[in-house]
């Protein structure tokens, strides 16, 4: 057997295994392996495909997030159209539906299926001979948007199913799970942004993003419930169809009720309504469908909806309450969040006594006053929220809420930036912020200091032991053991055992990588994903502070803005004074040239991609976004940043990022792209190059010095290298340059 067929087989096995584990995790919710084992499979496949580009397949799990951001979505015509459902609000109307069917289907036997009605975004998925070929939104029902690239990032959507059927077009709902919505809301609030109203808006907003890489960060899921165009396959009943969907590996409703008659439908509706909070998705009712698909054609449809189904809406769950006070919470980033203190009410399975009001604009928009009677709902079925004010119940005693001018925790003045909805306390040593920052610093994704939760953080701040998270490194076991966690008179010490554990965890934290430290510092806008990206492009924290890359990214943004505003083709003639045309053109050309030079140099460093289409001005997409670069440079230039860096230097901590490029060596100043199989894995070849002062990037550009080509090199790389006259090196050539005698 040749090496390449071995490799091909291994890759195939890995793909199948990963798809199976995706299905177990995302569809069936019964994973068989842990994250680390899954990551190992994924990384092995990634490495194989990188070393042997010729074996990569379009439906490989490594290709979920692919391609460039789009500029717009293509249109897709739906055939048959994507219909909607006629709604009924009462059980009487359902009885009418049953009577209607009796008249339409004389002498026929039919039964019903009751299933949850998911509140998400309708989509159509098309598979041809088993491969996902297209995904589209509903649009107006006739024509929707082609969102294939975005839907491919949803791990619950199989990229491939085991079926040779020529066309299977199925329909369902993309949704953001309730727990993910709650987490997203928390983060948006923390960042001072306006959160999405509900999971449906969040899902719709996510699918509209033009950059699939951004979509991939949203933990969307999907649920399939209807058939569109089917060619070469048919089903007798809806239940048969659902069983087949399940077998193909699609997520379907977690519960379905097969009901021979309306009495059973009513019982099913009762049960479903009782279960409504148990599902991971938001549900706004039930769908009652005729099970026998043979009846569908005969029943037909109205202009909008099929006659074989009805949507039964549940009464919205809301409870009346009174806003007794509005308090203000201060988060880690200093964002002030107003919270309604409510007269406690039972709602959707729990007692609600507080509801976030997000920000001052929200309060103004709702015209909410202290003392108001309100309707309370649970946004996304989980987050208590004030839905509306019951204005009729006002008696004049209500008072208007004003955001405090001073932070309720530290008394420092509160500010609000023009471009933000949030009010912030900017005092870096504000005790409320400090407690929240400490918790963040110690969180699992950050420095993972076990035992440092909310209570301990509060006690550390209240006891005056900590004025900055880095003070943690100066605490002794003895001192920590004495920490009083009690409230009021009741004293309760942390104890020596817990204290020793914390000190050990902190000692381990010193050596954690740059990505974890960057995240732990809690710089606004630098979440775990951005932190990992930034850390991958810098060798350590000190070199990040002095980063040329971040400055180049910001300069690129400025140049792009200037070029766009000077663009003679994109500007209204009226605004440019007569006679300036020539000068404008010259300035525009100069900006474009500079933009191109800088952009291409970022591409050569593997830090940007040039958007497809040779537009002028050219467009680049940087790995690290300009906003992140701005936050980071802002941090290092601030008093806070300087203090942190000085402190870390004293503590002897300089977290490591990507392996360094040697400052000197035979390959200094040269940029390499690697393709094909060599005697060592690609990563190790890359390390050799870096060790000799060279740079390694992913794609061939004008800035590439050499393409190192092993056995079976990638077609696209070699042809691009030929077009750009980039010389090829064999592994032996490379080793000669490295000065290896071997
Ligand atoms: S069946 C011909 N089943 O609700 C339409 N739709 O308000 C067949 N929906 O357009 C749709 N859950 O987007 C069906 N279990 C379910 C559903 C469901 C949610 C959506 C669907 C439909 C809308 C109507």
Q: What is the DSSP string of 271-334?
A: HHHHTTTTSSS-EEEEEEEESBTHHHHHH-B-SSSBTTEEEEEPPP--EEEEEEEEEEEE-TT-
What is the Cα 723 distance to its own chain's centre?
A: 37
Best mutation site among 85, 253, 289 for ligand 1 pocket (most ligand atoms within 8 Å of CB): 85
Residues whose CB is less than 8 angstroms from the CB of residue 531 and which lie 6 or more positions away in sequence, other chains included: 514, 515, 516, 518, 519
Ligand 1: list residues with CB < 6 Å. Answer: 83-85, 115, 117-118, 122, 173, 225-226, 287, 306, 309, 311
Smallest CA separation from ligand 1 atom 1, residue:
226
Superfamily, domain 321-424: Nucleic acid-binding proteins (2.40.50.140)
Strand segments (E) across 192-278:
221-231, 257-259
The pLDDT tens digits of the residues spanning 245-268 come to 999 999 999 999 999 999 999 999
Q: How many angstroms separate the Cα of 504 from the Cα of each of 127, 308, 467, 476, 497?
A: 53, 65, 21, 11, 11
Instruction: Give the residues of the chain that fall short of pLDDT 70.
Output: 1-3, 67, 570-581, 612-613, 660, 683, 740-742
Q: Measured between alpha carbons, how far is residue 83 from residues 50, 125, 241 in Å?
A: 43, 15, 18
- Which residue, among 312, 283, 297, has the nearest Cα to 98 in the 3D structure? 312
Q: Which CATH number fits domain 3-63: 3.40.50.2300, 3.30.450.20, 1.10.287.610, 1.10.150.20?
A: 1.10.287.610
Cα of 241 vs centre of ligand 1, distance in Å, is: 15
Q: Among 311, 312, 313, 314, which is best to mutate for testing ligand 1, by the most ligand atoms less than 8 A from CB?
A: 311
Question: Catalytic residue numbers?
Answer: 117
Pick the closest to residue 305 from 134, 122, 175, 126 (CA basis). Answer: 122
**Residue with the two structure tokens 């409870």:** 319
Closest C-alpha residue for ligand 1 atom 12:
117
For ligand 1, the distance from its centroid to the CA atom of residue 188, given in whole angstroms, is 30
49, two tokens: 């495909």
Angle CA 640–661–607, to nearest 5 = 70
The C-alpha atoms of residue 85 and residue 208 are separated, in whole angstroms, by 24
C-alpha 603/C-alpha 610 separation (Å) is: 7
Cite the residue boundaries of each domain of the chain with CATH code 2.40.50.140.
321-424
pLDDT at 178: 93
The encoded tokens of residue 398 equal: 């209500």
- Which atom of ligand 1 is found nearest the CA of 121? 13
Model pLDDT, residue 613: 63
Q: Which of the following CATH numbers is that of domain 671-738: 3.30.70.2190, 3.30.460.80, 3.40.50.10190, 1.10.8.60?
A: 3.40.50.10190
Question: Hunting for tokens 């990505």 — which residue is that?
Answer: 515
Q: Under CATH, which number does the domain 75-313 receive? A: 3.30.470.30
pLDDT of residue 77: 96
- The pair of structure tokens assigned to 650 is 């004293």
Q: How many residues does the chain have?
A: 742
Distance from Cα 227 to the centre of ligand 1, integer Å: 11
Tokens representing 274 are 């009782």
What's the token pair of residue 216? 């991939």
Distance 85 CA to ligand 1 centre (A): 6
Q: Is the CA virtual torsion 277, 279, 285, 289 positive or negative?
A: negative
Give the full edge-to-edge strand order of the sheet including 221-231.
131-137, 121-128, 167-175, 221-231
Residue 542 CB partners (closer than 8 Å, separation 6+): 645, 654
pLDDT at 54: 87
Coil, helix or strand at residue 729: strand
Give the per-residue pLDDT at 428: 75
Neighbours of 413 (CB within 10 A): 11
* Ligand 1 atom with the shortest distance to the CA of 305: 2
Q: Ligand 1 centroid to 80 CA: how many Å?
A: 15
Torsions phi, psi for 252 (to 5 deg): -125, 175
Number of C-beta neighbours around residue 215 at 10 A: 21
Residue 688 CA, ligand 1 centroid: distance in Å: 57
- pLDDT value of residue 711: 86
Closest residue by CA, ligand 1 atom 15: 117
From 170, 200, 282, 287, the mutation candidate for ligand 1 (largest count of ligand atoms within 8 A of CB) is 287
pLDDT of residue 574: 44
According to the model, what pLDDT value does residue 716 have? 79
Kindly give the number of the ligand 1 atom that is closest to the alpha carbon of 116. Answer: 15
Candidate from 125, 226, 296 with most ligand 1 atoms within 8 A of CB, to mutate: 226
Interval between CA 81 and ligand 1 midpoint (Å): 13
Q: What does the buried/exposed string (b/e) look like for 185-204 if buried means 16 or more CB atoms within 10 Å of the residue's CB?
A: beeebbbbbebbebbbbbbb
Predicted confidence at residue 138, as pLDDT, reads: 96
Tell me which residue has its CA closest to atom 10 in ligand 1.
Answer: 84
CATH 3.40.50.10190 location in the chain: 671-738
Quick one: which atom of ligand 1 is closest to the CA of 301? 2
Angle, helices 528-536 vs 514-521, to 10°: value is 140
Q: Ligand 1: which atom is nearest the Cα of residue 119?
A: 19
- Residues whose CB falls within 8 Å of the CB of residue 41, separated by 6 or more in sequence, listed in order: 14, 17, 18, 21
Query: Distance (Å, rounded) from C-alpha 173 to C-alpha 220?
Result: 10
Return the H-helix or E-strand segment holding 362.
helix 360-366
Mind listing the pLDDT tens digit for each residue in 165-213? 999 999 999 999 999 999 999 888 888 888 898 999 999 999 999 989 8
Contact residues for 480 (Cβ-Cβ < 8 A; gap 6+) = 494, 498, 499, 502, 503
How many other CB atoms are there within 10 angstroms of residue 61's CB atom?
Answer: 20
CA-closest residue to ligand 1 atom 9: 117
Query: Ligand 1 mean position to 84 CA, how many Å?
Result: 6
In the chain, CATH 3.30.470.30 sits at 75-313
Give the pLDDT confidence of 668-679 residue by residue, as tens digits.
Answer: 888 998 888 888
Query: Which residue puts its alpha carbon closest to atom 22 of ligand 1?
Result: 84
Rounded Cα distance between 297 and 301, Å, is 9
d(CA 220, CA 307): 31
Contact 613, 554 (CB under 8 A): no
């Amino acid at each position: 057997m040749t090496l390449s067929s071995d490799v091909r087989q291994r890759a195939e096995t890995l793909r199948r295994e990963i798809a199976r584990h995706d299905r177990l995790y995302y569809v069936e919710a019964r994973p068989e392996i842990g994250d680390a084992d899954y990551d190992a499979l994924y990384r092995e496949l990634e490495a194989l495909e990188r070393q042997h580009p010729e074996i990569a397949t379009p439906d490989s799990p490594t290709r979920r997030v692919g391609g460039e951001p789009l500029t717009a979505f293509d249109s897709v015509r739906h055939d048959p159209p994507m219909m909607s459902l006629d709604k009924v609000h009462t059980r009487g109307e359902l009885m009418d539906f049953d009577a209607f069917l009796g008249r339409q289907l004389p002498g026929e036997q039919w039964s019903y299926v009751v299933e949850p009605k998911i509140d998400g975004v309708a989509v159509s998925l098309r598979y041809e001979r088993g491969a996902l070929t297209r995904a589209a939104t509903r649009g107006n029902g006739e024509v929707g948007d082609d969102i294939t690239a975005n839907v491919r990032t949803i791990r619950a959507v199989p990229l491939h199913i085991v079926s040779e059927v020529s066309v299977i077009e199925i329909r369902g709902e993309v949704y953001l799970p309730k727990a993910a919505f709650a987490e997203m809301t928390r983060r948006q609030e923390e960042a001072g942004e306006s959160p999405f109203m509900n999971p449906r808006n969040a899902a719709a907003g996510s699918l509209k993003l033009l950059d699939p890489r951004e979509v991939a960060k949203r933990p969307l899921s999907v649920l399939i419930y209807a058939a569109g165009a089917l060619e070469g396959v048919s089903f007798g009943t809806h239940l048969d169809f659902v069983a087949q969907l399940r077998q193909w590996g699609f997520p379907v409703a977690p519960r379905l009720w097969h009901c021979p008659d309306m009495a059973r439908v009513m019982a099913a509706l009762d049960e479903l309504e009782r279960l409504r909070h148990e599902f991971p998705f938001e549900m706004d009712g039930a769908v009652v469908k005729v099970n026998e698909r043979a009846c569908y054609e005969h029943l037909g449809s109205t202009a909008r909806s099929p006659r074989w189904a009805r949507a039964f809406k549940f009464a919205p769950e809301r409870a009346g309450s009174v806003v007794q006070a509005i308090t203000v919470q201060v988060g880690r980033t200093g964002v002030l969040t107003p919270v309604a203190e409510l007269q406690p009410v039972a709602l959707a399975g729990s007692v609600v006594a507080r509801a976030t009001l997000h920000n001052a604009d929200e309060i103004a928009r709702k015209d909410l006053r202290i003392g108001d009677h309100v309707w309370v709902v649970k946004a996304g079925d989980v987050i208590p929220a004030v839905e509306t004010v019951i204005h009729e119940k006002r008696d004049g005693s209500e008072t208007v809420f004003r955001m405090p001018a001073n932070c309720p925790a530290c008394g420092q003045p509160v500010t609000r930036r023009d471009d933000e909805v949030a009010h912030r306390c900017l005092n870096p040593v504000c005790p409320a912020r400090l407690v929240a920052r400490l918790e963040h610093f110690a969180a699992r994704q950050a420095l993972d200091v076990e035992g440092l939760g909310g209570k301990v953080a509060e006690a550390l701040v209240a006891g005056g032991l900590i004025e900055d998270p880095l003070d943690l490194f100066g605490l002794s076991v003895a001192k920590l053991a004495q920490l009083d966690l009690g409230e009021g008179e009741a004293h309760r010490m942390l104890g020596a055992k817990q204290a020793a554990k914390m000190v050990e965890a902190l000692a381990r934290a010193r050596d954690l990588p740059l990505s974890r430290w960057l995240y732990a510092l809690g710089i606004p806008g630098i979440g775990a994903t951005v932190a990992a990206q930034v850390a991958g492009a810098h060798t350590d924290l000190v070199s990040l502070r002095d980063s040329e890359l971040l400055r180049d990214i910001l300069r690129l943004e400025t140049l792009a803005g200037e070029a766009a505003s000077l663009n003679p083709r994109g500007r209204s003639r009226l605004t440019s004074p007569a006679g300036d045309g020539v000068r404008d053109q010259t300035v525009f050309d100069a900006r474009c040239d500079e933009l191109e030079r800088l952009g291409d140099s970022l591409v050569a460093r593997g830090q940007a991609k040039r958007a497809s289409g040779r537009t002028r001005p050219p467009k680049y997409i940087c790995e690290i976004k300009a906003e992140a670069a701005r936050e980071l440079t802002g941090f290092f230039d601030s008093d806070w940043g300087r203090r942190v860096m000085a402190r870390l230097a004293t503590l002897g901590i300089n977290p490591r990022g990507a392996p360094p490029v040697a400052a000197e060596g035979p390959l200094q100043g040269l940029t390499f792209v690697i393709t094909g199989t060599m005697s060592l894995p690609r990563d190790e070849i890359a390390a050799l190059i870096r060790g000799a002062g060279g740079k390694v990037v992913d794609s061939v550009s004008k800035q590439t010095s050499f393409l190192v080509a092993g056995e079976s090199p990638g077609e696209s790389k070699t042809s691009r290298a030929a077009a750009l006259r980039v010389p090829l090196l064999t592994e032996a050539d490379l080793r000669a340059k490295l000065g290896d005698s071997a």
